[in-house]
Amino acid sequence: MKKFAVFDIDGTLIRWQLYHAIADSMVKLGFVKPEAYDSVKLARMDWKRRSPGASFRTYELELIKVYDRVLAGLTTDQFEAAAQVVFDEYKDQVYTYTRELIKDLKSRDYLLFAISGSQIEIVELIARYYEFDDFAGSIYERAGQKFTGHLTIGAHNKDQTLKLMVEKHDAGFAGSIAVGDSLSDAVMLEMVEQPIAFNPDKDLFERAKKQGWKVVLERKNMIYELEGKDGKYQLAKTS
């Protein structure tokens, strides 16, 4: 059976979050008034200042709430224009570790899957650019040139999504690899033989530590690979 590797996209391959980039693009293109994102800007600055009680997740939830409301007022053509701008700007703004891992795995005939919480249209652009074999993202239902407000969130049930991809492509779990950076990725990391917590948030790091998963950190021009042993991590490799 074919070997596979599954990747999260935002913060794992791409160095920023695609949701956030598209929201900014909508404003730059004049599709959305800047004041529509005032609450998002406040949440973002609270996170950046590391204010008491603030977190990246709090900011992210505020962004998604406002994003969903704003999207209802756009045409699908406007959204696709914003997504294309983001793709053109961010497609090569990636982490060295995951980019090179993708190249290596492709050379070894691994199937490559991408599962993301970002909107499926931008996920598809990134996935096709890096020649993934299959991908999944959040699906915002369309009706003509408008979005209906109904959506299926790609970050939910990543384990079920991965199972369907494995079955669809006649893949096997022997030698399988998963790479993710947040707790929502833990369910798919638990399924594979070689889980990699890449630049993990606190919650994923705690899960990785309990499970003894490999942790990889990329900072500036350095990559640190950590191996778990007896509940502690040791530096195994730098590059």
pLDDT tier at 47, thresholds 50, 70, 90: confident
Residues 59 and 99 occupy one common structural domain: no
Residues 83 and 106 occupy one common structural domain: no
**Are residues 145 and 37 in contact, defined by beta-carbon separation less than 8 angstroms?**
no
Last residue in a domain, options 92, 122, 153: 92
**Mean pLDDT on 38-64:** 87
What is the reported pLDDT for 135? 96
Residues 148 and 228 occupy one common structural domain: yes
Q: Kindly report the CATH number assigned to the domain that includes residue 184.
A: 3.40.50.1000
- Which residues lie across from 235 on neighbouring strands? 226
Cβ-Cβ contacts under 8 Å for 127 (sequence gap 6 or more) = 9, 114, 134, 135
Q: CA nearest 12: which of 163, 158, 143, 209?
A: 158
**Mean pLDDT on 132-152:** 92
- Better-scored residue on pLDDT, 149 or 132: 132
Residues 49 and 131 occupy one common structural domain: no
Residues 36 and 104 occupy one common structural domain: no
Last residue in a domain, options 68, 92, 116: 92
Residues 50 and 141 occupy one common structural domain: no
State how many domains the chain has: 2
pTM of the predicted structure, to 2 decimals: 0.92
Last residue in a domain, options 74, 92, 110: 92
Residues 119 and 192 occupy one common structural domain: yes
pLDDT tier at 1, thresholds 50, 70, 90: confident
> What letter represents residue 226's amino acid?
L
Q: CA nearest 162: which of 130, 197, 200, 133?
A: 133
What is the reported pLDDT for 7? 98
| Measured CA distances, 107 to 101, 187, 216 (Å) | 10, 27, 21
| Among 103-107, 141-145, 148-152, the least confident range | 148-152
Nearest-angstrom CA–CA distance, 50 and 16: 18
What is the reported pLDDT for 133? 98
What is the reported pLDDT for 68? 87
- Percent of the chain exceeding pLDDT 70 equals 99
pLDDT tier at 161, thresholds 50, 70, 90: very high
- Which residues lie across from 151 on neighbouring strands? 140
Query: Which residue range forms the structural domain that includes residue 239?
Result: 1-15+93-239
Residues 145 and 178 occupy one common structural domain: yes
Residues 46 and 107 occupy one common structural domain: no
Q: CA nearest 181: which of 236, 82, 115?
A: 115
Residue 43's SS3 state is helix
